[in-house]
Structure 1
């Protein structure tokens, strides 16, 4: 009888415990617009996601393993203003970060981002999860609008390393670098202590030697770098340090024959070429092509085993020939091969790099194909193959048509084929969307009059389209407006005078971050000169060209010579290099990760716009600057 009564009780007890466990697991966690189905997610869990928005959403997540991260796509389905999806957390993950783009802009959750630690089966936070999320926010956060105080991030990392010393082998490089950036004195002590601990070991790994090399290189102790490097090369003659040594020799060497020998040594030591080896092969291929040594060119270009790198090398050689109309048969062969390589990858994208999600990789390949098809179309056009050129230009054409120069090439081909009706329609759309230029406007007038020979309203039409374009651009630019405190700074200009941001309060201030080695920066400068000239007598507008990320002992002379040679009357100021660091003072304050970057500060002293990169159209650039200035004046 006992057994009979006890058994149902046991079943009830077990079921009650299971129910409690299920309820515990089912507790969701909401952060900003995102809800995840468990407040204590674990590696291996299936995690349901809900994101609140009635707009178009695109998302991916990164799972973290130590100081590394691996991105994966999130597939959302939308219903009644909610986007629902699910992921399976990889078993190796220690933390997660969700990146959600709404209408082409990342939701940064009030600059905090969507970062989550993971937990053990016992509900304890996984060792290293705080370090992983903090490091991710510091290293990648600015790409997604996430802000984190570097001192706070370092303290999180330090706490983890102190609490769990076993994590240090995976985190040493990142830990020592962040320690030194946070506090140079404390950082140097940690670096010396780490080096001392390595001296006591009999089996120091190359990874540990590399951590010491990077640390001492960061703090500028070259004698220690040299001695550690010597030991590393002796112990690991075919390791990564030896590879980097060969790359450095390759870059410094001027003689092509010697460069070729260095590359042979590299291939002898490495069964498969990595990014460094592909870079060397591509460099040799370009050098031999410039010497018209086609046998060696073909040999080295075929050795680039990364197909995207090989396609890029071929396109980069074909494009200038296409522009100049030189060696068109050779250019056609190169360009077609670049397209074939990308097409093969699109059909079988098995070699996706770890830093891309599947969708990101597919988009990257599509973008490359469009770029190379644009090159191929220009070559075909200059060979007189107009209809073929149109076919490939249509393949290259961006549905959003945001590149006015590519749009103009497309229209030029259609005009040559006398497709006036199509030219009329296409040019009208380009102009209305703000993606036209002078050539496109002239083509519209010609095509419109070809279709309507007696028409007298062509100029009125054009004026109406330009008005539409202005309205569209104002609306789009207003959507990108910021309202963030602009960090103050004082820098020297080319005359040695101090220029402070504080002294410019009350004006609209445009900061253009650039360097003499930056191709897109220099390409944008004719447009920026137009802006300077246009507003030179306007006391409410100031432009500062902040030279940053510029190295070399003759920096000032190099910059001044560049400005003088090109007849620019820019007000250039020199960003200050931070001692014992690769960072620059003002660039760091403004989270500048790439150049050109333009920051527009309103009369109230707050940052209103941030624009990264260059579209390729100076006319479009000038229009955008005009609109931003007008918005801030209104």
Structure 2
């Protein structure tokens, strides 16, 4: 007991940092309290506007809300009515993007019980302990970041909660048992057995029996007792959580798609909604994944969108984004389906998304409304919005597209070339030349532009200057020089000097090209494939780079088509290059003996330099030595072109 009292004393002293005070000194649940924040010495010192996110521990769950503060100088105050079912609040003060969370110690206020004088309100002890016990996974996500209090302290606060609020036993028994086991190790067994006996009493609920099953299996390693509890569960609750778990596992018992679809349908018919979300989380039962996989399987088997149309209105938030990616973004990027075909499906998923805008999903209730609003749109800005804007523009719904573009820019701040391009085209169609010019110059400053945007800038430049003379210098003057200097410094530090393997491949005219023939030249090899979306997405930027060096006889670009499996891949490559007007020298990788796909050259190079996957861009100097490897594509054509140009120049000067 002396040890536990010492723990209480040590932690109680840090509950109220000096920057945060309140009146009355002993606030109660369900009563008003004045919160006082002194910003002096904090990251918010001297700020003009300060607000707070208030995390309330209500009914043993975190619920976030926003609170405005008023003040003069560094002293800020707000009145807050504490909820009647709340035992503790935590505050995060902020001004814009700057946050004060008490140096990762948090600002906490434990509430007294209005009905039971002298005692903490229900949740006061548990909230204070769990907020500082991240390993129990019941803290406030993203609030404070530290290792956490000891198992001893976690156990103390949870046991205090259970002693003074016995109704919390069922709710907190699992984190209590985990903390107890961490604190007392094997000596915890008698107390854990007491918990199991309570949870398996004659009138125990299904949830209590499931928790007893967890404790016996996870903490006591008592397989026999766990099996006995499962027998009781199956007898008393034949359509309960264990039956739901068995049905869920049955979905993937077969690898035949029709069987998977049938099992999924049966699962939802028998168990249309979850009855125990925590059990589902612990056992990896995801209704969202069931819906998602059923839609994808049904689309593949039935060759129609009926299941997507049927289940889109009920999809959980956790899978709407992935559903949009797989059902809309991928077929759009690969041009597997037309925008007209995808538009109604995209509208369905956007409508489902918007259902959550003012209705936070349970897993996000800890966020305040402003935090949720940011998370809701920011998470979609660079992923969902660009595709939705493109589809809306293709459908002629430009006003809706503009709304998405404006929202995307709010979060992306012109750091996404695709959205910048879409926004520019929408402004051009609207005839808003002033705003268009601002978008074009701002995008170029951040090097997040497309060839089409450069063409718009060129057209504007010619109109005002009367000719193209000086345009290239004008373009360079618009870019941020600091970014280029930093990129050059980083690239120079990463330069290598390793001999390249010799190779021989044929071009689109069936002419043989060898590495030996290219000695004395700077060679850029871009490895790609017809099926590789990011490979082809980088081609507009690569086109800018190729055209920049078209008159430099000492620099040659080769686009090496590799990892192809189809019989007619060469014809497909030739058509793709011709249809898109790419001035590229294409080489076809060889097929090694016995191989199912091309890749003989790339495989040898990948092995030599320990690389894998495409796109891969290699920069080879005049002596045939590899100097740089550039992987992937960041989404900006002008940014890529500048990066390629910089690496070309560094490679040329390496000798």
Same structural fold, with TM-score higher than 0.5 when normalized by the shorter chain: yes
- The structural deviation recorded for 1:64 is 1.5
- The structural deviation recorded for 1:119 is 1.0
Structure 1: how far apart are the matches of 2:442 and 2:257?
50
SS at match of 1:143: coil
Q: 1:324 is matched with which residue: 315, 334, 337?
A: 334
1:81-140 residue CA offsets vs partner (Å, 9 max, x unmatched): 444332211111111111223432431212210122111343433465223211122233
Q: Is the 8 A contact 1:127 1:160 kept in 2?
A: no
Equivalent position of 1:104 in the other structure:
97
1:150 aligns with 2:159: no
Q: Is the 8 A contact 2:56 2:88 kept in 1?
A: yes
1:207 aligns with 2:207: yes
Structure 1: how far apart are the matches of 2:133 and 2:482?
42
Task: Classify 1:238/1:97 alpha carbon distance in 2 versus 1 (closer, same or farther; 3 Å).
Answer: farther
Structure 1: how far apart are the matches of 2:604 and 2:126?
48
| Equivalent residues in 2 for 1:167-206, closer than 5 Å | 167-182=168-183, 184-186=185-187, 190-198=191-199, 201-206=201-206
1:39 aligns with 2:39: no
Q: CA RMSD in A?
A: 4.6
Q: Is the 8 A contact 1:179 1:187 kept in 2?
A: yes
SS at match of 2:28: coil
| Equivalent residues in 2 for 1:206-605, closer than 5 Å | 206-219=206-219, 221=221, 223-224=223-224, 225-251=226-252, 253-270=254-271, 272=273, 276-294=286-304, 296-298=306-308, 300-302=310-312, 304=314, 306=316, 313-314=323-324, 316-328=326-338, 329-343=340-354, 346=357, 349=359, 354-367=365-378, 370=381, 372-381=384-393, 383=394, 385=396, 391=402, 394-402=405-413, 403-410=415-422, 413=425, 422-432=435-445, 434=446, 436=448, 442=454, 446=458, 449-453=461-465, 454=467, 456=470, 458-459=472-473, 462-463=476-477, 465-467=479-481
> Which one has a bigger Cα radius of gyration?
2
Task: Classify 1:393/1:195 alpha carbon distance in 2 versus 1 (closer, same or farther; 3 Å).
Answer: closer
1:143-182 residue CA offsets vs partner (Å, 9 max, x unmatched): 1234332335424335526754824332111112233445
Q: Is the 8 A contact 1:423 1:444 kept in 2?
A: no
Q: Is the 8 A contact 1:62 1:97 kept in 2?
A: yes
Q: What's the TM-score once normalised by structure 2's chain length?
A: 0.59
Q: Is the 8 A contact 2:111 2:121 kept in 1?
A: yes
SS at match of 1:97: strand
Q: Is the 8 A contact 1:421 1:451 kept in 2?
A: no
1:246-281 residue CA offsets vs partner (Å, 9 max, x unmatched): 333335553444434444444344465688434322
1:295-346 residue CA offsets vs partner (Å, 9 max, x unmatched): 6424642562657855763454111122122212221111122333445665
Q: Is the 8 A contact 2:416 2:636 kept in 1?
A: yes
Q: Is the 8 A contact 2:421 2:450 kept in 1?
A: no
| Equivalent residues in 2 for 1:38-77, closer than 5 Å | 38-51=24-37, 52=39, 53=44, 54-55=46-47, 56-65=49-58, 67-77=60-70
Q: Is the 8 A contact 2:32 2:79 kept in 1?
A: yes
- The structural deviation recorded for 1:80 is 4.3
Task: Classify 1:261/1:176 alpha carbon distance in 2 versus 1 (closer, same or farther; 3 Å).
Answer: farther
SS at match of 2:174: helix
Equivalent position of 2:88 in the other structure:
95
Which 5+ residue runs of structure 1 have no aligned equivalent? 1-28, 474-521, 527-562, 572-613, 624-634
- The structural deviation recorded for 1:31 is 2.9
1:24-78 residue CA offsets vs partner (Å, 9 max, x unmatched): xxxxx96343332232121101122233344344422122146422222223345
Q: Is the 8 A contact 1:77 1:83 kept in 2?
A: yes
Task: Classify 1:449/1:278 alpha carbon distance in 2 versus 1 (closer, same or farther; 3 Å).
Answer: same
- The structural deviation recorded for 1:284 is 0.6
Structure 1: how far apart are the matches of 2:464 and 2:151?
68
Q: What's the TM-score once normalised by structure 1's chain length?
A: 0.60
Structure 2: how far apart are the matches of 1:388 and 1:567?
51
Q: Is the 8 A contact 2:20 2:35 kept in 1?
A: yes
Task: Classify 1:415/1:107 alpha carbon distance in 2 versus 1 (closer, same or farther; 3 Å).
Answer: closer
Structure 1: how far apart are the matches of 2:216 and 2:79?
44
Task: Classify 1:218/1:284 alpha carbon distance in 2 versus 1 (closer, same or farther; 3 Å).
Answer: same
Equivalent position of 2:582 in the other structure:
none
Q: Is the 8 A contact 2:125 2:157 kept in 1?
A: yes
Task: Classify 1:616/1:196 alpha carbon distance in 2 versus 1 (closer, same or farther; 3 Å).
Answer: farther
Equivalent position of 2:618 in the other structure:
none
Structure 2: how far apart are the matches of 1:439 and 1:222?
66
Equivalent position of 1:125 in the other structure:
120
- The structural deviation recorded for 1:216 is 4.2
